[in-house]
Structure 1
Amino acid sequence: MSVLLFGHPLLRIGLLTVFTIRLVMLKDPQILVLTMIIGVVFGNIVAANAHNGDTPYERKDCHETVKVYPDMISANGGNCHFIAKSGLSGRKVIYFAHFKSLAQKKLIMGSNRPLAMTLSGEMKAMMPATNVNQFDMRAYYHHQKIYEAFSGKEIIASRPYSQLTLTDRIHEIRSRFNHYCQALPKTLRTYALGLISGTRQSDFFDQMSGVKQLGLLHIFSISGMHVYYFLSILDRALTMLGFSGRLKGTVKLVCLGGYFIFSGGSPGLLRAVLMAGLAISSRMVGIPLSQLATLSLTLIMNLFILPEALFLMGVQLSYGLALGLIATSKMTYFRQTVLLNLLSLPILLFHLYQWHLLSLAVNLLVLPLFGRLIFPLVIGGLLVGVVSRPLVLLIDACLHEFNHLLNVVGALPGMVTFGKPALVVVWALLFLTFIMIVHHGGRRMCLVPWVVLVTYGLTFIWIHFPLTGEVTMFDIGQGDSFLIRTPLNRSVTLIDTGGKVVFDQQPWQRGIKTYQASRLSINYLKSIGIAKIDTICVSHQDADHCGDLPAFLTEMQVGRLVIPLGMDKNPSFMKRIEMRAKTTSVISVSDRNVVSGLPLTIYHPYEPGRGENHDSEVLGGRFGGLSWLFTGDLDRQGEMDTLGRHPGLKTDVIKVGHHGSRTASDPQFISQIHPKIALISAGRNNRYNHPNQETLVTLKKAHVAVWNTQDSGMVRYMYRQNSGHFEPVLDRNEGKMQ
């Protein structure tokens, strides 16, 4: 029913068919009646939640005071976000806010008690993902019953609560624990926060690059393994204190609930806590439950609490691996680990698009090491942290070497950018892998591994050698970034990378440097199986055009950079690309150059410059039966100069200069090149009021159709040979959401 109401249509049909056949084959009227009763109850609960979600509470220029737990605040520089219950709508809301000063940040982040925080801003529904395969924040929080976001202008005031509930005190303990960890050495601190309280600092992925590359994030996402260790320690402690029987079970249940809150209360952790609680309860009342029955009841309870839980990757992995552990419980450790990795692989590829060839070997070695060495070291470091500085430094050194080894292994060749397999392929691979697990000894099943291998191979070929090409305008906010990919991926070219322009920030406001390209354009490229870009053309030096270039140079293979003539003498730009690989060449061009293998013609610049707006590269090419022209931030004078040097220049599609500013798109220029379609890349509610009304009037008078990222999000022109079609991600109404 969850999938019927929220899931993919194809998946709905498949699961409904299997479920119906299962009910018919059982021929048990009691089960049929019970299923119908549970279905009606579940449907009513879901309908109530869906009604709340479809009517988001929106209000502009409002002040609101909410209860905030400091341990649940994620801060980076002068920005922070947290989830709290709104006093306006009575529902959970995600709040984004800005600290007024460094003193305010220290006061809030240094507090242990829950805070009554007053904020000014606006409440609104969340935007959907505006790029294909972008992380969909709206869907992610919707699955957790969070439907609105509060965009805060500033935090007006905060004060600690004096009267605390039991939940408040658990959060206070967690906050004190996190502050205690801040005094520990760096690596021990990261491991203690990740493994004990489920907290990740803003620089977690920089420090733990090997964990990310090798697919070991599940170890730092508190789940079944952590709950098992917690209950094992608690059981020994209670036994030593003389507890037994129902009293011991009751204490464990209470502590399990407290541990759920203390560890962050993630949806993935809920499965482990519910399952452990059911197992303890069944023993207390003398009703034995098999592991499979316990898992099944846990899933039912979980879906009543969060009806859309199984659409979250963490929950999918949690239940999938738990089921796999039950099915492989009698196998050897090696065989079990191999099959569990195969079981999780389709889910990981569907969400993350890549997999390291060394992941399996590392999992085989690291998982037992974590239980026997890393966990004890972390707990030991926490215990001796306040009494023996030399010993805690020794423990930190051991963890540092272990983490360094993971980072080194993660940096080794072997990362396969597979791409995003189709949903039907994911389900087929999961089904076939589970068949391999359940019938691993049957002679008839000997062909199944080969079918799995062939399915992976054919899927890989289908993703990496597509019959269609594309010209794509990414929605990267205020900036430019375009992809040109020819059929069969013969050529992959990027024009600009986008980037964020930062205005007059104090050092404490800057925080950890992040690149939005990692979750937008780079993420999209990986989802379609692209790990190497043949050419990145940088139109000019402005941050909104090449600010995210370092992300591409570090996360992907880049063959060459094509920049305007003279920009290689600009020290600011050259510093930005100093981390490039030795195999990445830099080519400085003018309109007199022809770059071998580049599917574009260079029309501008014609003299050396420093990479400013009037030095912008102007590039043109023909794809899918249409001619295209990309003008960067070229001004009106530059447009007319380009026409003077190339008087016969015409185009079907123009990337409007300077995001639609009035400084570009001269009416005479537009009239002479005679475009039919205009592409405008500009941020929503940008401070420059792009696109300018004068430019829109010019385009309208010339009868030019306009695609604007503000309204349509990412726009793709998908083509095959000499014909194609435009595909916007958003319709006009979605794009106009503020």
Structure 2
Amino acid sequence: MPALKINLNYSKKPGFYLLVAFLLISISFLFFEAKSYWHVGVIGIFCLFFSFLLIKKFKHTKLLLLVFIIIFSIRLFQSIPLYSYQGQVITIYPDQVKLIPDYVSGIGKFKNGKITLGFKPTSAIRNALSQGEKVLLFNIKYEVSEIEQAHNFGEINYRHYYASKGIKELVNIQNYQFISSSYSLIDFYHYLRFKLERYFTTFPRLLSFFAGELILGENINDDTQQILDNYRNLGVIHLLSISGLHVGIYTFVISVICYFFKITEDESFVIISFCLLLGILLCAGQAGFVRSCLTYFLGGLLKKKAFNLNNSDLLGLTAIVHLLINPRLFMNIGAILSYILVLGLKVIKSESSFKQGMLLNLLLTPLLLFNFYQVNIFTVFFNILIVPYFNFVVMPLTFINIFLFNKFLFISDIFEKILEFGEATINSFARTNIGMIIFGKITWWQVLFLLIVSFCYLIFRLESRKLKLSIVTLISAYSLIFISIHFPLQGQVTFIDVGQGDSILITTPLFRKSYLIDTGGKVSFASSKRPKRPQIEQITLPFLKAQGIDHLDGIFLSHQDADHVGDLGPLLDKIKVNKLYMARGLLKNQAFLKRIAGKVHKSQIKELLAGDRVNEGIKFDIVYPYQAGLGKNEDSLSVTFKVNNKRWLFTGDLDQAGEEVIGQKTPMKVNYFKLGHHGSKTSSSEHFLQIIQPDLVFISAGRNNRYHHPNQETLAKLDKLAIPYLSTQRYGSISYRYGFGRDHFETFLK
């Protein structure tokens, strides 16, 4: 018993729980995030460093430290989805899936874990889920596959996202039987979330959006992406995450109410704890909210036990408990940002609020650049303007509306008008892009280096010599990284994996010029009623921003098909484009004109025919068409150019007759050729391939596409002619890198 007392006393020495938290976080990174020997080596060094500090400084707490490590190790192994889905009964909760008339998708639970799923529901299942009932599927005919990973640089990796939730498989359900089930306590929890979601969708648009974000921690509207983009671009997206800010407001309001009703401090703590626990359940455990609630719970309990910890150790203890609850916690960028933000605040708590904002933004910038590739240098000022609006307008109006909506509908209309004015003002700021810097994606080791130097700057900011060294190091590091991204030593020709479509990026080295050939886009089918976001928001724009590309010098448009130019309109809305190059006659196509209406000036458009040349950094020669058309496949703009003394040829969806014209009028030997029409049998005839004699050809086509591209006859033709090929279906984006006489190919999927 005396030994235990000594351990507890030593565990109260400043720094113990914070260092243990750092050690457990390092172990979790080693377990879940290490993808290479470099990762293992660097993270291993951090594990040894924190272990050394703990053993050296807290010699009498080795047993307590060992207990933490053992318990956390057990939790780590428990968090691994050990079993694959093998036909067990699947439980579907109504708040865990999206239900549209012809499809159900979301998360399901089975005996040994969770899966993502998709299937066509019967009318009975639609009715059950729409009523908030739990559904059990059994006797299932299914296909299991890994969750789709990213196929392009900068693209969101959904495999990693779902892995952070302990989900590794997608189950495509083809046939099944089902029953609905009676309610247990956990079923009631899911039913409550579902009913709140349904209730919020009856609100006016903005009130519905904010209610979903602030209570459920999710966007329940399909048409509010612009609001999210506005808040993200201004650097205030944290306001839409249920976080410590909201916990502080909730506890203050409840405390005032308890004081008014003369409720004791202990009773108030219980009431507030219950309300916060309910909030955790409703928001499905958002990391920032859970962190702040845990800090409140632990602080209150330790205070009652007279076990006083300083603020840093209380944060460390919070992180330890949070990790024991969710070992995958720090696979979530929201959790990383939340904890680093609070840790930074502990270091600079003596500064003014404005200076705190500046210093915290400095601390968060490396993580923002790694995950979002951009930063707004005026974020501090936008926070000063928008935080009061959010705290004193958005939140009160949203919560008042939640309680009064059914009784006073006219009040909701007034609230909606107020919010419309506020959001319109925010939108006007966001559309200017003032302060926005498209920096590019930095590497993991650059993030680590910048974080360490930034923390050194915060810690040593009162020591002039170390402060100057930190400032010089930070400025030099950011400058060198920015230059390396924006003035690359290599140019590229990259086939962006846009699924069933074409989009090719061409850039030059050093003083970079950037061009696209087509933009890709989804083909719409009348039978599908599912709302679609433009692909460019998920693929092309992140791909460009990750490379620091904030404008395009030109876009070459082959023809009017949606899988080639369907995303042109949204792309023009999101990024500056200097020129649009297209075959003469395309402007007479009414469907195409609708895509660009109000988005470009006449001076930006250049119509081309065979024999024309575009000479801006790269010499693009037009080899087809010879006469104006309407932008159909047979009118496809065909372009050839040379980089690093290698000739490329792109022919869009040109048919074999058009290829023969090129072969007759401008015969050429090419090194690299994009196979016509996604490898369809209507393009790239054997005769044409013999004329151009490509060393390598490329196929841009979607996985499991309904057209069955590339055609087997076409592939047999390539085999017969001994022409090797690479396909985005198999390799994701395919890049040719060149510069200073050297070149090589690389694919995103190895």
CA distance in 1, matches of 2:218, 2:141: 27
Deviations 1:541-577 (A, max 9, x none): 1111111112211111111111122111101011111
Task: Look up the equivalent residue of 1:129 and give its one-letter code.
Answer: A
Q: Specify the code of the residue in structure 1 equivalent to 2:94.
A: Y
Q: Do structure 1's residue 686 and structure 2's residue 705 form an aligned pair?
A: yes
What corresponds to 1:493 in structure 2? 515
Pairs within 5 Å for 1:615-626: 615-626=635-646
User: Is residue 63–residue 120 contact of structure 1 (8 Å, CA) maintained in 2?
Assistant: no
Tell me if 1:561 matches 2:580: yes
The corresponding residue for 1:670 is 689
Q: Distance in 1 between matches of 2:104 and 2:297?
A: 34
Cα pair distance change 1:725/1:305, threshold 3 Å: farther
Please point out which of 604, 627, 633 is paired with 1:613: 633
State the one-letter code of the partner of 1:147: K
For 1:596, what is the secondary structure of its paired residue?
strand
- Could you say if the C-alpha distance between residues 250 and 207 of structure 1 is closer, same or farther in structure 2, counting changes exceeding 3 Å? closer
Matched, 1:180 2:199: yes
1:642-661 equivalences in 2 (<5 Å): 642-647=662-667, 649-661=668-680
Does the C-alpha gap of structure 1 residues 153 and 325 become closer, same or farther in structure 2, counting only changes over 3 Å?
farther
Where does residue 713 of structure 1 map in the other structure? Answer: 732
CA–CA distance in structure 1, aligned partners of residues 170 and 593 of structure 2: 39
Unpaired runs of 5+ residues, structure 1, are: 732-738
Q: Equivalent of 1:441, from 459, 462, 470?
A: 462
Deviation at 1:469, TM superposition (A): 0.8
Deviation at 1:605, TM superposition (A): 1.0
1:626, 1:184 → 2: CA distance? Answer: 59
In structure 2, relative to structure 1, the CA distance for the partners of 1:172 and 1:232 (3 Å cut) is farther
Offset of residue 311 of structure 1: 2.7
CA distance in 2, matches of 1:417, 1:344: 16
- Structure 1 CA distance for aligned equivalents of residues 381 and 473 of structure 2: 23
* Counterpart in the other structure of 2:21: none
| SS of aligned partner of 1:437 | helix
Map of 1:64-463 to 2, 5 A cutoff?
Answer: 65-70=90-95, 72-74=96-98, 78-87=102-111, 90-98=112-120, 107=127, 110-116=130-136, 121-152=142-173, 161-165=181-185, 167-200=186-219, 201-239=221-259, 243-244=263-264, 246-414=266-434, 415-447=436-468, 448-463=470-485
| Distance in 2 of aligned mates of 1:584 and 1:426 | 42
How do residues 501-580 of structure 1 correspond to structure 2 at under 5 angstroms? 501-505=523-527, 509-511=529-531, 513-580=532-599
Shift of residue 659 of structure 1?
Answer: 1.1
1:17 and 2:17 correspond: no
1:38 paired residue number: 68
1:437–1:204 Cα change, 3 Å? same
Q: State the secondary structure of the residue aligned to 1:690.
A: coil
Q: Report how far residue 40 of structure 1 moved.
A: 4.0
Deviation string 1:135-168 (CA, Å, 9 cap, x unpaired) is 10001111221111223458x7877543231x33
Deviation, 1:587, is: 1.7
CA–CA separation in structure 1 for the residues paired with 2:173 and 2:593: 37
Amino acid in the other structure paired with 2:678: H
TM-score by length of 2: 0.89
Q: Distance in 2 between matches of 1:7 and 1:352?
A: 18
Task: Give the CA deviation at 1:104.
Answer: 7.2
Q: Secondary structure at the match of 2:611?
A: coil
Give the residue type in structure 2 aligned to 1:563.
M
TM-score by length of 1: 0.90
State the distance in 2 between where 1:306 and 1:584 align. 56
- Offset of 1:208 from its aligned partner? 4.6
Q: CA deviation at 1:725?
A: 1.1
Q: For the Cα contact (< 8 Å) 2:90–2:109, is it kept in 1?
A: no
Partner of 2:496: 474
User: Using the alignment, how far apart are the partners of 2:173 and 2:578 within structure 1?
Assistant: 42
CA distance in 2, matches of 1:534, 1:418: 18
SS in 1 for 2:653: coil
- The answer on whether the counterparts of 2:79 and 2:328 sit within 8 Å (CA) in structure 1 is no
> Aligned AA for 1:561?
L
The whole-number CA distance in structure 2 between the counterparts of 1:348 and 1:610 is 44
Change (3 A) 1:225 1:109: farther
Structure 1 stretch 673-682 or stretch 122-131: which is displaced more? Answer: 122-131
Q: Once the two structures are superposed, what CA deviation does each residue of 1:336-395 show, in whole Å capped at 9, x if it has no partner?
A: 111112221211111111122332211122224433343223222333323333333222
Q: CA RMSD in A?
A: 2.7
Separation in structure 1 between the aligned mates of residue 247 and residue 285 of structure 2, nearest angstrom: 12
**Mapped partners of 1:726, 1:686: distance in 2:** 26
Mark the CA change 1:489 to 1:120 in structure 2 (over 3 Å): closer, same or farther.
Answer: farther
2:88 & 2:588 partners in 1: Cα distance? 50
Contact preservation (8 Å) 2:583, 2:631: yes
How big is the shift at 1:537?
A: 0.9
Aligned partner letter, 1:493: Y
- Report if the CA contact (8 A) 2:354-2:380 is conserved: no
**Residues 373 and 545, structure 2, Cα contact 8 Å, conserved in 1:** yes
Partner of residue 17, structure 2: none
Q: Residue 264 and residue 157 in structure 1: after superposition, are their counterparts in 2 closer, same or farther (change >3 A)?
A: farther
- Aligned-partner Cα distance in 2 for 1:12–1:231: 42
1:47–1:207 CA distance, 2 compared to 1 (3 A): closer
> Which range moves more in the overlay, 2-11 or 360-369?
2-11
Q: How does 1:586-605 map to 2 (within 5 A)?
A: 586-597=605-616, 599-605=619-625
CA 1:205 to 1:22, structure 2 compared with 1: closer, same or farther past 3 Å?
same
Supply the AA of the counterpart residue of 1:83.
I
Task: Provide closer, same or farther for how the CA distance between residues 268 and 109 of structure 1 changes in structure 2, counting only shifts above 3 A.
Answer: farther
Deviations 1:259-292 (A, max 9, x none): 2111232344332333333223323433233321
Distance 2:97 2:304 in 1: 38
Report the CA distance shift for 1:276/1:203 in structure 2 as closer, same or farther (over 3 A): farther
Q: SS where residue 408 of structure 1 aligns?
A: helix
1:585 — aligned with what?
604
Offset at residue 245 of structure 1 (A): 5.4
Amino acid paired to 1:706 = Y
Q: Output the amino acid matched with 1:496.
A: D
TM-aligned CA distance change 1:558 to 1:158, over 3 Å:
farther
Q: Residue 133 of structure 1: SS of its match in structure 2?
A: coil
Aligned equivalent of 1:638: 658
Q: How many percent of aligned residue pairs carry the same amino acid?
A: 30
Deviations 1:682-726 (A, max 9, x none): 111122221112111211122211111121111111112332111
Of 715, 737, 747, the residue aligned with 1:696 is 715
Change in CA separation of 1:718 and 1:264 when aligned onto 2, cut-off 3 Å: same
After superposition, the Cα gap between the structure-2 partners of 1:283 and 1:191, relative to the gap in structure 1 and judged at 3 Å, is same
What is aligned with 1:735? none
Q: For the Cα contact (< 8 Å) 1:143–1:306, is it kept in 2?
A: no
Q: 1:134 to 1:380 in 2, by over 3 A?
A: same
Aligned residue number for residue 734 of structure 1: none
Q: Is the 8 A contact 2:117 2:171 kept in 1?
A: yes
Change (3 A) 1:311 1:65: closer
2:8 corresponds in structure 1 to: none
Corresponding residue SS for 2:614: coil
Bigger mean CA deviation after superposition, 697-706 or 15-24: 15-24
